[in-house]
């Protein structure tokens, strides 16, 4: 009835007999029990080693040769002989002990069997009946073999259940506890949605259509990405069904949850575009290192792309596993203009200085070459240290004389003034706008 193996039950009975015997006979380390499969008779015995009577040290594990020959005529020194104990007149207390041990062993075996059965069913759908509703809102569901727990956090806010209601749920966890195996159910897990589509769409069950990703939001909306392994089968159409019958069956089970079915593609940019549907996407800028995408949508599509309280973009991010930043075309153009102006300002600051540095470097090189050539030409043989220092000073003087005005302080000041004029003009252009927050950004 409980699906317990026969060997487990035999072990439970033998353990019960040993417990009852120890209650009556006292503790015996070598006490054993044996069951005859043919007759069903239980034998209680103690194995003892045959020794000479004078050599007996512990009579609980040793027996004299004379006594052993009475049990087994062929016994010899060193052999092991089983001394049989009678299973009679054990009394009510010993019988009660045996009964408790059998019940305990059977219950443990049943729990282990249930755990092994459900641990392999994680990720599956199960049907049950609500046995009771706890004060915290948790549901205890009767699955036939055992009871499962559906926590309040794994229930949708749109649905309520009462006792004896039939319920379908998704197994998310099976764990052991002191009271037996505990099966945890869910009705908000994305896997629940995927299993429902698998039941309603034969193409998914046959692996013609595959659900690649699924995402659900607590506010009552979901997205699934599907692909087809057969070029002649439309994955979205297969999931929707004729007149939407297939998807409507899933929606009814989920108490009216809105479901977006989108085609999956390996092109991540196109996948993000599909995930943001029904909103239209104008441009996408991808940063693969940071796993982010900046999505630009038409001005009239911004609220649709974001969704109610950010629902649409949040689901798209869960579905694609990319961080998505959405902005309108006007915001994108303003950002582009701001970045372009900052780039021009930076160029205005750095260009004169780079030119001056370049010209100065060339002048120093030329002066050093000229000075060195002149000094070497005039250098006599056997030049002493004082003469060498004098020649070095002549080289430095020649280099300073040939240095252009481009690196003078006046030249640098003129370049800085020109760059500040460019930035000032850019700031006045932006400050003419009506957005005070953007004006602050521009000033920064």
Q: Please report whether residue 174 resides in a domain.
A: yes
Backbone angles phi, psi at 228, to 5 degrees: -110, 135
Residue 99 CA from chain centroid, whole number: 47
Q: Are residues 78 and 146 in the same domain?
A: no
Domain boundary among 235, 264, 293: 264
pLDDT for res 425: 55
Q: Please report whether residue 366 resides in a domain.
A: no
pLDDT for res 318: 92
Q: What are the tokens at 87?
A: 């299973």
The whole domain housing 326 covers: 279-348
Alpha-carbon distance 34 to 42, whole Å?
Answer: 6
Q: Please report whether residue 415 resides in a domain.
A: no
Residue 2 CA from chain centroid, whole number: 37
Q: Are residues 166 and 218 in the same domain?
A: no
pLDDT for res 2: 74
Q: Are residues 50 and 15 in the same domain?
A: yes
pLDDT for res 356: 60
Q: How far is CA 271 from CA 229, 230, 431, in A?
A: 17, 19, 39
Q: How far is CA 350 from CA 76, 353, 404, 412, 426, in A?
A: 109, 5, 19, 10, 17
Beta carbons within 8 Å of 7's beta carbon, 6+ residues apart: none
Q: Please report whether residue 289 resides in a domain.
A: yes
Q: Please report whether residue 154 resides in a domain.
A: yes
Q: Please report whether residue 170 resides in a domain.
A: yes
CATH number at residue 158: 2.40.50.140
Q: Are residues 327 and 343 in the same domain?
A: yes
CATH number at residue 259: 3.30.300.20
Mean pLDDT by 10 residues, the chain (444 residues): 81 84 74 83 83 76 80 80 76 80 86 88 92 90 90 88 93 87 92 93 92 88 93 92 91 90 92 90 88 89 88 91 88 74 71 60 62 49 52 52 48 60 53 46 42
Q: Are residues 11 and 86 in the same domain?
A: yes
pLDDT for res 180: 81
The residues pairing with 323 across neighbouring beta strands, listed in sequence order, are 292
Domain boundary among 137, 157, 185: 185
Q: Please report whether residue 256 resides in a domain.
A: yes
CATH number at residue 64: 3.30.1480.10
Q: Please report whether residue 164 resides in a domain.
A: yes
Q: Are residues 197 and 254 in the same domain?
A: yes
Three-state DSSP at 72 gives coil
Q: Are residues 13 and 82 in the same domain?
A: yes
Q: How far is CA 109 from CA 9, 31, 177, 197, 417, in A?
A: 9, 24, 14, 36, 89
Q: Are residues 174 and 227 in the same domain?
A: no
Q: How many domains does the chain have?
A: 4
Domain boundary among 241, 264, 287: 264
Alpha-carbon distance 82 to 296, whole Å?
Answer: 88
């Amino acid at each position: 009835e409980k699906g317990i193996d026969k060997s487990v039950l035999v072990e439970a009975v033998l353990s019960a007999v040993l417990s009852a015997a120890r209650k009556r006979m006292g503790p015996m380390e070598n006490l054993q029990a044996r069951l005859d499969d043919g007759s069903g008779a239980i034998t209680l015995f103690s194995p003892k080693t045959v020794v000479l009577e004078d050599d007996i040290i512990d009579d609980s594990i040793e027996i004299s040769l004379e006594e052993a020959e009475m049990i087994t005529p062929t016994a010899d020194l060193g052999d092991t002989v089983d001394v049989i104990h009678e299973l009679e007149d054990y009394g009510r207390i010993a019988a009660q002990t045996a009964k408790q041990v059998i019940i305990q062993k059977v219950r443990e075996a049943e729990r282990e069997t249930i755990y092994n059965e459900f641990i392999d069913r994680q990720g599956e759908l199960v049907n049950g009946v609500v046995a009771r509703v706890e004060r915290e809102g948790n549901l205890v569901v009767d699955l036939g073999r055992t009871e499962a727990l559906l926590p309040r956090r794994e229930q949708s806010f749109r649905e309520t259940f009462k006792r004896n209601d039939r319920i379908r749920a998704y197994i998310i966890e099976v764990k052991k506890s002191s009271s037996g195996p505990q099966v945890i159910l869910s009705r908000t897990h994305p896997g629940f949605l995927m299993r429902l589509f698998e039941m309603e769409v034969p193409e998914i069950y046959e692996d013609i259509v595959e659900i690649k990703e699924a995402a659900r939001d607590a506010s009552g909306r979901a997205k699934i990405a599907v692909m087809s392994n057969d070029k002649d089968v439309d994955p979205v159409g297969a999931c929707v069904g004729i007149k939407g019958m297939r998807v409507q069956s899933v929606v009814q089970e989920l108490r009216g949850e809105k479901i977006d079915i989108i085609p999956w593609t390996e092109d991540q940019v196109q996948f993000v575009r599909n995930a943001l549907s029904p909103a239209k996407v104008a441009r996408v800028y991808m940063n693969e290192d940071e796993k982010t995408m900046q999505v630009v949508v038409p001005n009239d599509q911004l609220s649709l792309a974001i969704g109610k309280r950010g629902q649409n973009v949040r689901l798209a991010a869960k579905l694609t596993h990319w961080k998505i930043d959405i902005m309108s075309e006007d915001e994108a153009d303003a950002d582009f203009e701001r970045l372009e102006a900052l780039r021009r300002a930076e160029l205005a600051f750095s260009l004169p200085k780079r030119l001056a540095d370049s010209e100065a470097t060339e002048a120093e090189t030329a002066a050093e070459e000229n000075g060195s050539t002149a000094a070497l030409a005039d250098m006599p043989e056997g030049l002493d240290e004082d003469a060498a220092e004098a020649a070095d000073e002549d080289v430095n003087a020649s280099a300073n004389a040939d240095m252009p005005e481009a690196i003078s302080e006046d030249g640098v000041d003129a370049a800085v003034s020109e760059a500040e004029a460019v930035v000032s003009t850019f700031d006045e252009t932006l400050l003419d706008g009506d957005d005070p927050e953007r004006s602050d950004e521009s000033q920064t």
